[in-house]
Amino acid sequence: MSTVHVNGCIDLNTAPDLQRNLMRRLTTDQSLRLDMSRVAWIDSAGLASLVKLLAEARRRGGDLIVAGANEAVEGMLKLARLDVLFPVSREQASNADQSAAAFPESRSST
């Protein structure tokens, strides 16, 4: 299982790129652990991307694990009742299994 470090905000502007990059990752790794300890915010577009990624991982016989979720991310997952779908861990990924991937860090202002 590879660990992907996600940074910044996952929103309408950044979610499509994140989803595209992680879908490519799922072609070589059945399961992914998303270290979201540096994610400041996730909106409904970001949640939808996570659901699509989870479905694809499970279709391939794998899983998608959310690790290092802060209160904002965990709160959004709970609010949308997605915490029952995703294995969510507040623990950050260990340095031993890190596979870095950075994503946009700025939150759009609309």
Instruction: List the domain range (segments joined by +) for residue 61.
Output: 2-99
Kindly state whether residue 104 falls inside one of the protein's structural domains: no
Sheet holding 32-42, edge to edge: 88-89, 64-67, 32-42, 2-10, 98-99
Between residues 89 and 62, the one the model is more confident about: 62
Residue 91: the pLDDT is 62
CATH classification at residue 61? 3.30.750.24
Q: Which residue do the tokens 């759009």 mark?
A: 108
Kindly state whether residue 21 falls inside one of the protein's structural domains: yes
Residue 83: the pLDDT is 86
Kindly state whether residue 63 falls inside one of the protein's structural domains: yes
Kindly state whether residue 29 falls inside one of the protein's structural domains: yes
pLDDT tens digits, one per residue of 21-53: 999 999 999 999 999 999 999 999 999 999 999
* CA count, 13 A, side-chain hemisphere, 1: 16
Tokens of 6: 């996600």
Answer whether residue 110 shows pLDDT above 70.
Answer: no
Kindly state whether residue 108 falls inside one of the protein's structural domains: no
Total number of domains in the chain: 1
Answer whether residue 102 shows pLDDT above 90.
Answer: no
Residue 34: the pLDDT is 94
Assessment of whether the complete model's pTM goes beyond 0.85: no
10 Cβ contact list (under 8 Å, min separation 6) = 18, 39, 41, 42, 43, 45, 46, 49, 103
- What is the average pLDDT across 50-71? 94
pLDDT tens digits, one per residue of 66-92: 999 888 898 999 999 998 887 676 665
